[in-house]
Structure 1
Amino acid sequence: MNLKKIITIVSVVLISILMIYGLIILRQIFSSNTKFSENEVYVYIPTDSNYEAVKKIVAPYIENMDRFDMVASKRGYSANVIPGRFLLTKGMNSYELVKTLRLNSAVKLAFNNQERVENLAGRVGSQIEADSAALLNSFKDSIFLKQNGFNEENVLVLFIPNTYEIYWNTTAEKFRDKMIKEYRNFWNKERVAKAQKQGLTPIEATILASIVHKESVKKDERPRIAGVYLNRLRAGMPLQADPTVIFAMKKKSNDFNQVIKRVFYNDLTMAHPYNTYMNVGLPPGPIAMPDITALEAVLDPEKNNFIYFCASVERFGYHEFAATLEVHNKNAKKYSDWINSQGVKR
């Protein structure tokens, strides 16, 4: 056998070996490499994680870590970890897994009905990487508050209840800054003009909306209630809103978990900035996070001559309205008699 034939045979063998090796590599790269039974799972990579930390996080979901490790190294991922939330799909191969870990997916973050900024921080902190303490500190940052015209009592008005798309690894400060942009977008020229028509600033409108929100769960009734409160404000009357008294009681005792179903006369005389029976005008801050319908009710209130209202015993959830104290007293007695008959103490 001459040298030329030997070289040809060796070349063919080497090419065959390389092809077989290449096919093995391709199989390792493109064959399924997941081991979870669900159709999809989310994994969370904290900020400042290194590649070793990532491997520990994804290990429960990956069938063969060596195959994943090889692709991660070849693709440069092991030296360039990206924090965030990532969606893994059942049957993904190593190439797809690494590719996915480069694509941070957004979280649909939602919040509403929060009574205090502390509650909001906890709610948001359960949905993104930033914890509640960091979020609360950012909300109460004195420089931020001063620059944007808020204070610690009213900063809750900044947050418009909605569902927002945001990256899981968003910092507390970036979340707060996104919310101030959303606040400014909401309070456009048209809404500011509507608030001014009612003699209110956006902050004042939101504080009043928080009272309207707490007064009634019936969205169709909220414009009428807003009209009553605006009538009282214009007349220089105290708002005399029971929800503000309940909030004052909770704030005074520092117990916001208590359930207060009934307000008594002695409660109405409590000295507290949030007690609108003892103080004329709006309280210093919102008593809850009003939803959009409550805000719209204040901006587009019903025009009426009602000054008084109390809970209805015939249409539960709704209220009876009155333009005179005489009619109101009759409505109030009917409700008091009914609630006494139910044995409601507090």
Structure 2
Amino acid sequence: MRRLLIVLLFLAGMAAVVAGAAAWWLGQPLRMASQSIELEVEPGTTPRGVAQAVVRAGVQTDARLLYYWFRLSQQDRQIRAGNYEITAGTTPRSLLQKLVRGEESLRAITFVEGWTFRQMRAAIAQDEFLKHDTAQMSEAEIMAALERPGVAAEGRFFPDTYTYARGSSELAVLRRALRSMERHLEQAWEQRTPDTPLKNVDEALILASIVEKETGRASDRGLVAGVFTNRLRIGMRLQTDPTVIYGLGEAFDGNLRRRDLQADTPWNTYTRAGLPPTPIAMPGKASLMAAVRPEPTKAFYFVARGDGSSHFSPTLDEHNRAVNRYIRGTP
């Protein structure tokens, strides 16, 4: 009987030692090959496979220990597929919590105000962490996939920073940007001035894109919108260079010539009255609001001063004097 008691005490002591060692190990930072490690857990991966993937990624521990921990925690079947970032200081306990909660590492991509859809696609193509599922798709195919068939892509995406999990679809990011623009556009349209010459939200988006490209200084945005609004009211041509440049497309070499102003395209607001058929860039929230609530002004003209600001004129004579002063350098 005494021998049995001794054996039982010994086993209890060993169990306590093992339990203590396990508790200590669970709270210790895992050794890693680098300060930050990318871990991909594919759908359907077994708990043992997850433990092995952690070690292959660069965590310097025994995969069997991780697997036993996953099993003993009784959370092994709750581990979620995804892309994770394991950083220095991560313990076995915090690693499992991250995997069970699905705390994926997030990346970010920024779409800049004033960018064209072509520039936006170039940024997407260069992002190494996105799944490039639109690379071989045309603009029309992309819009159809986004459930907007027949709608031009230009200007339809809101410029902002979007976070996503590594391996996310390009279409998923585009869909978020599309819906964000639609929300901002509707909100702006609800706040439009009663006497706006704009007929619908599409025209507001087009005008906002022009305002975005024509504004050199944020404080001038409302007046720029006011000038174009005044012109639309009386049927005067907008005569804005950014629309001509957009119409030239890849043929534009950075130097806008007189012959370019005379070359008719659907976007040439020197040769055609009214708004162009599509936006010419992605407008931000401020430009959307300026388009629907322009600053009251008697000006019909403006010219860049050369410091980012513009000089606004109510008459052509005053405008010509401003052009002589700021462009030609003559009094």
TM-score, normalization by structure 2: 0.81
Percent identity between the two aligned chains: 23
State the shift of 1:232 in Å.
1.3
For residues 247 and 36 of structure 1, the distance between their equivalents in structure 2, rounded to whole angstroms, comes to 50
Q: Residue 111 of structure 1 corresponds to which residue in structure 2?
A: 111
The correspondence for 1:192, drawn from 190, 193, 205, is: 190
Counterpart in the other structure of 2:25: 28
Partner Cα separation in structure 2 for residue 11 and residue 55 of structure 1: 36
Q: Counterpart of 2:69?
A: 71
Shift of 1:224: 0.7
* TM-fit CA distance, 1:148: 4.9
Separation in structure 2 between the aligned mates of residue 300 and residue 223 of structure 1, nearest angstrom = 8
String of CA shifts for 1:180-239, please: whole Å, max 9, x gaps: 443343234663350774232222212211111111220000111111111111221221
Counting matched residue pairs gives 323
Contact 1:46 1:84 in 2 (8 A): yes
Which shows bigger deviation, 237-246 or 95-104? Answer: 95-104
Q: Which runs of 5+ in 1 are unaligned?
A: 340-346
Deviation at residue 24 of structure 1 after TM alignment = 3.3
Counterpart in the other structure of 1:331: 322
Partners of 2:275 and 2:25 in 1: CA distance:
68
Counterpart for residue 343 of structure 1: none
**1:342 aligned partner:** none
Q: Deviations over 1:10-34 (max 9, x none)?
A: 2222222333333333333332213
Matches within 5 A, 1:94-109: 94-102=92-100, 103-105=102-104, 106-107=106-107, 109=109
Number of the residue aligned with 2:289 = 296
Quote the Cα distance in structure 1 between the aligned partners of 2:308 and 2:135. 38
Between 224-233 and 10-19, the greater mean CA deviation after superposition = 10-19
**Match status 1:45 vs 2:40:** yes
Is contact 2:185-2:205 (8 Å) kept?
Answer: no
Q: Structure 1 stretch 176-185 or stretch 208-217: which is displaced more?
A: 176-185
Counterpart of 1:11?
8
Q: Give ranges in structure 2 of 5+ residues lacking alignment.
A: none
| CA–CA separation in structure 2 for the residues paired with 1:42 and 1:295 | 42
Q: Distance in 2 between the 1:225 and 1:248 partners?
A: 21
Whole-Å Cα distance in 1 between the matches of residues 280 and 171 of structure 2?
Answer: 24
What's the CA shift string for 1:293-331, capped at 9, x where partnerless? 222221221222222222225xx2122222222222232
Contact preservation (8 Å) 1:34, 1:93: no
Superposed CA RMSD in Å reads 3.5
Q: SS where residue 192 of structure 2 aligns?
A: helix
CA distance in 2, matches of 1:75, 1:97: 12
State the shift of 1:83 in Å.
3.6
User: Structure 2: which amino acid aligns with 1:113?
Assistant: E
Cα distance per residue 1:93-130 (max 9 Å; x no partner): 21211221233245555322353324324435628633
- Mapped partners of 1:136, 1:180: distance in 2: 17
Q: Find the counterpart in structure 2 of residue 223 from structure 1.
A: 222
1:45–1:82: 8 Å Cα contact kept in structure 2?
no
Match of 1:131 in 2: 132
Partners in 2 of 1:104 and 1:58 — Cα distance? Answer: 19
Task: Give distance in 1, aligned partners of 2:238 and 2:66.
Answer: 65
Counterpart of 1:269? 262
Quick one: which amino acid aligns to residue 312 of structure 2?
Answer: F
Distance 1:227 1:46, change over 3 A: farther
Which letter does structure 2 place at the counterpart of 1:205?
A
Looking at structure 1, the residues matched to 240 and 300 of structure 2 have their Cα atoms a distance apart, in angstroms, of 12
**8 Å Cα contact 1:114/1:120 also seen in 2:** no
